[in-house]
Every structure is written in structure tokens, then in C-alpha cells.
Amino acid sequence: MQPRQGKATRRASEAAATVPEASAHSARGARTDSNESPAAPEAALPKAGKFGPARKSGSRQKKSPPDTQERSPVGATGARAKKAPQRAQDARPSDSTSAAGAEGLEPPAAREPALSRAGSRRQRGARCSPKPRPPPGPGDVPSPGLPVSVPILEQRDAAPGAKKLRAVLEKLKLSHQDISKAAKVVNGVVGHLLHRLKCESGFGGIERLHTGSYYEHVKISAPNEFDVMFKLEVPRIQLEEYSDTGAYYFVKFKRNPKENPLSQFLEDEILSASKMLSKFRKIIKEEINNIKDVQPDTDVIMKRKRQGSPAVTLLINKEISVDITLALELKTSWPTSTQDGLPVKNWLSAKVRQQLRLKPFYLVPKHAKEGNGFQEETWRLSFSHIEKEILSNHGKSKTCCENKEMKCCRKNCLKLMKYLLEQLKEKFKDKKHLDKFSSYHVKTAFFHLCADNPQDSQWDPKDLGLCFDNCVTYFLQCLRTEKLKNFFIPGFNLFSSNLIDTSSKEFLSKQIEYERNNEFPVFGEF
């Protein structure tokens, strides 16, 4: 298809996210979370006219070459040299086993070693150095090695900082009372806005989509940030890929009768993301002025637009931030760019992967980077509902974490990684080095790590210290190699130099390595 001509728009949209409709009942045992935009960041692309180079989603002329760099097994990266590594085979399930679906726990004799990093910092009874180690330079980040391990009992005793990590997790727990109070306020505002949107032309079929960290039960710190997604089904459309990104698309109608309520948002036969988002924002802005009449104790203001973000951000009672994102729901086959994504065959099974790919997918009004500005007519793929499904059913055994006998520490590791990034961003907020990093980067790396280490026994809660250490190691490897593939779109690199500059990745890598060497002082004292 020939590139569309015209000048590129330079405006940016609002913030992305997905938040929950919450209730005191549904909050039992749940955590709430602000889930950053679930889809990949915008790709920096050469300026190519108003609509840029585009192709139909089902007819990619050139497939991105497969990733030639193998991800080293967990425990390979970041190995310390002070302790001689012990080699161990990495047990992996066969294809026939992984495709079988639900499984029970393996017998104790068959348990695999927990995720481990070679050269644990200290042996049993060893003391920490009384003086903190200086922050390492970029060249000090450890390099990949062989997959190594030590017997499970030794690993548990040697697990660095496990007691402190459990204390951090206790601190991150949210009280049911706070959750219930915040959820009640958010649901009142969101429900009011949803009712108004249903009455507007073009938004009549809009519904709420329950996604985000609140429903994934990985919300940390405080119930003061929520993500809400409003979905709108749009049948009979055609996608045109933007500049071979695999993540950004133009939307056209296969047939566009005059009575189509979305015709008002067309721009040269393209469903304009900027026009639709602008109307969406305008309706919400008008309606929040009426909320006080219905909820006199609720004060709602709309925050300024954030460049390159698809969400409308509200501040409720000066303490609760809510990101509301419009999403188009497509009940068709997933785009070609996702064909080799979602690598969960050995983890959740081939059957589960097939079932997930039969679900709808979503497009959010996220603008692709175009030169020094943005292409405002593009929509970006979102699979936040699939992420929620994976985290809700995260075990290879289908009953993992559903009873006392079958527990894992996957979610706890994700919470700790999110908290580590959150604390570092707060610590260095004046430097702006970490502004482009989000919890979505952490979650994406975590998903890849789970896919590479699929057995529930590899995430034994008793091995929390080592499992978390391997999460840190893997994330450091992604930063150092500047490679973090989108979990659903393998051709889209979230750590591309076009999206995040090399110096920022080196800075974050250096700080994480410093934190690990010094038992994570950013977590505080316990």
C-alpha cells in the first residue's frame, strides 16, 4: 500500500491505563493498582506524511527477522565471580506435556531447583559488609554465564535478604478498609461518567472493561491510583499497520453507511484517534461539573493532557488519581504481528494460548512517534485483559495459589520489582533519567521470566530471595542488551534506543545493581 500523504500532526494525547470498578466485596484480599499503559510505548519513526507508511494488517510484505539473541536462562545473568558456580541442567517440559493442559503438583523427588543466580552473595552465616559498595559503572553489570544452581536447601539458607523482602511485602499490603473507601469513591465517579457517555452519539455502546493491577492483585503501596478502560465494540473494520511497527495501526471501515455514528470521527476515511479522543475528553470534562450535584462530598478535577498518552486523568478529592482510557474492541483474529507472541506453551499450555488468542483484542488512541512529533491518527494494540487473565491463572498447575498446599511467589516477585522501580523513580525524580520507565516494562520482563521458568516448583515461596534476585538479574540483562520484546508483539522492542535512550538505561542499570549489592537500601530499614 502506498504511504498516505499529508502533514503529520504534532499534538499528543493523554495518559494510558486501565482501572477497576471496585467494591468493598470484590476488594476482599485484593490489592489495588495503577496499571500503566499496557501496550508498548510509541516507536520513533521517520516522518512520512500525515498517515505515514501503512499496510493492511493481514498482508505484511516483510516479516521482521527472528530475534537472534537468545535470552540466557534465569540465573545465568548477573552471576557473581566470588563463588564458584555449580552447574545444573535446566529441566523443561516436553511439548506434549506442556500441551496437555492442567497438571497436578509434581512429586517431591521430581522438583526442580528454584530459579537461582550463580554465585550467591554470601554463604550461611556470612555477614554483610559494614560499608556500602559504591555504585558500579555501566561496565560493571554482570554478563551472562552458564545456567547454574545449587541444592534447594542450600539456596533457601543462602537466599539474600529474604526476611527483609517479606517485611517489604507486609508494608505493601493494603488495608481492606482503605481499599473499600477508595473503591466506593472511584466507582461513583466512573459510573456517573459511563452513564453520560452512553447518551452521546458515537459512544452509545460503551462499557467498562475490568483490567489493571487492582484486578490482577498486584497493586502496591496505596489505593490512590486507578486505571479504567471504557471499551466500544467496532465491527467490520480494516486495520492498516503503521510503518511496520506491529503495534500501531490505522482504522478504516470496510463499509461505512451514513448512519454510522462514528462517521463524525473520520479523517480521509480513517477513524481519527485524535478526533475521537478529543470528543471523549470533552464529554468527561463537561460531566465532572455535574458530579457535585449528585455527590456533594466528591471533588473532581481534570488534569492537563500528558504528551503521548491516551488517557484522561482525573484527580478525585485531591488524593485519588484515575486514568480513563477509551478502547476499541475488535472481535476478529489478532494481527499478524502477534503470531509468534504470547510464548506460554511450556508454561500455561498450548491449549490455554489458543484459548487466549480467541478472545477480542483492543486498540487505544495512542499516537505513534513521528519525527519530532506524533502521528495523531494511529491506534495502538492493547492486551491488558490477557495480562489480567495470565496473572489470575499464573501457575502451570491450574490450582496454583488456590490452596495452602500449592503456593508460589510469582506475584510477590512482581510486586517487589514494581516497588523497586517506583522507589528509584521517586529517589531520582529530579534527574528525569527514569521518566520513560514504567511498571509495564517490569511486568513484561516478568512474563518472559515466567515463560522461561514455567514450573511452579521454580517459584517456591521459601525461595523468595533467590527468585526475586533472578528477576532483578533478568531485568538488568534487558537493560544492558537494550532488548525487551513486547510479550504479545515480539517484533516490537520496548527498550529500543528510539524509545528510551541508552544513557537512561545505563543509569537505571547502575542504580539497580547498586541497590542489589547493598541489600536494597531504597526499600528502607526493617
**pLDDT band at 383, cuts 50/70/90?**
very high
**pLDDT one-digit tens code per residue, 402-420:** 887 789 999 999 999 999 9
**pLDDT one-digit tens code per residue, 26-55:** 333 444 344 344 443 443 344 444 444 454
Domain map (residue ranges) of the chain: 172-393, 397-525
DSSP 39: S
Q: Which of 93, 18, 77, 101 is nearest to 443 (CA)?
A: 18
* Res 266: pLDDT: 92
**pLDDT one-digit tens code per residue, 81-110:** 444 444 334 444 434 333 333 333 333 334
Q: Which of 384, 435, 386, 387 is nearest to 411 (CA)?
A: 387
Q: What are the phi and psi torsion angles at 265 (to 5°)?
A: -105, 10
How much is the average pLDDT of 259-283? 92
How much is the average pLDDT of 195-223? 76
How much is the average pLDDT of 487-512? 95
**pLDDT one-digit tens code per residue, 114-130:** 454 433 443 434 444 44
* Res 292: pLDDT: 80
In percent, the amount of the chain with pLDDT more than 90 equals 48
Question: Per CATH, which fold does 172-393 belong to?
Answer: Beta Polymerase; domain 2 (3.30.460)
Between 50 and 266, residue with greater pLDDT: 266
Angle between helices 410-427 and 162-172 (to 10 degrees): 80
Q: How far lies 14's CA from each of 141, 306, 340, 382, 482, in Å?
A: 36, 5, 30, 15, 27
pTM exceeds 0.75 for this model: no
* Res 376: pLDDT: 85
Residues 6+ apart with CB under 8 A from 340: 66, 490
How much is the average pLDDT of 288-314? 86
* Res 384: pLDDT: 92
CATH class as words, domain 397-525 = mainly alpha
Lowest mean pLDDT among 40-44, 190-194, 474-478: 40-44
Residue at grid coordinates 508494608: 171
- Distance, CA of 106 to CA of 376 (rounded, Å): 51
**pLDDT band at 336, cuts 50/70/90?**
very high
**pLDDT band at 221, cuts 50/70/90?**
low
